[in-house]
Amino acid sequence: MQIFLDGEWYSRETAKVSVFDHGLLYGDGVFEGIRVYNRRIFRLEAHLDRLYDSARALALTIPMSLVEMAETVREAVRRNQKEDGYIRLVVTRGVGDLGIDPRKCAKASVFIIVTDISVYPRELYARGIKVITAATRQVAHDAFDSRVKSLNYLKNVLAKIDAQQSGADEAIMLNSAGYIAECTADNLFVVRHGKLLTPAPQDGALEGITRGTVLELAGEAGIHAAETRLTRYDVYTADECFVTGTGAELMPVTEADGRLLGEGKPGPVTRKLTEAFQALVRHEGQALW
């Protein structure tokens, strides 16, 4: 494994960040998770646009141009010869003194890891996962914009603990008003009366790349899709439910808070969109070698 770190390439054993890095000390930074399929990086441009937008929102200057970053990500994949894999691209505020003052950090730090990922066991894709509603809430939209993909994931970790302690695979996170925001690391979709519905960013949903792709595929397939406010009632009474994410891809949900959803197995819309997604990612874009 070769890891890019601030202009140099290191092995897994030698790649180190400082204990004074503000990404470690204060979660001050942004990141992207990106998939590689069939030697192709899936929607790299969209991921980088979101990364740079997140950085701008945090007044964080990335010390590489967008073009330089894109080529470095491609080089990282080539060096690691990953035909199928996962890229973790991280930008931190950089090394500074103790204290949160970002002016103490002279330059942001960038590192890129190319590895494998398996969010859920493969067998769960055939039968679906169980979810619960977490006690932990999403941060209110008027406090922090959910469109910023920052390193601050403690609330998500706590919600994941809620799921694990309940014997579930994933947790739904509500916002302060009780509407569904997202899951701990995934966006959520329901199918009700032939319509595909997902929470809007205003309710705390990250504008996921996979989420956006699924909405596009639904439109191409003639499936009515919309962003809307959802409550747990909409999940409990859904004909189908699934979550999406770069790591998870499309994962069916067949039980929520102890309630069987639909027929208790992945439904036809979920299967159709999963097939369309898998066909797209294997062939979209140019192979790196």
Positions marked catalytic: 149
Closest CA to 199 of 216, 186, 277, 269: 186
SS (H, E, C) the chain: CEEEECCEEEECCCCCCCCCEHHHHHCCEEEEEEEEECCEECCHHHHHHHHHHHHHHCCCCCCCCHHHHHHHHHHHHHHHCCCCEEEEEEEECCECCCCCCHHHCCCCEEEEEEECCCCCCCCHHHHCEEEEECCCCCCCCCCCCCCCCECCCHHHHHHHHHHHHCCCCEEEEECCCCCEEEECCCEEEEEECCEEEECCHHHCCCCCHHHHHHHHHHHHCCCCEEECCCCHHHHHCCCEEEEEECCCEEEEEEEECCEECCCCCCCHHHHHHHHHHHHHHHHCCCCCC
Nearby residues of 118 by Cβ (< 8 Å), 6 or more positions away: none
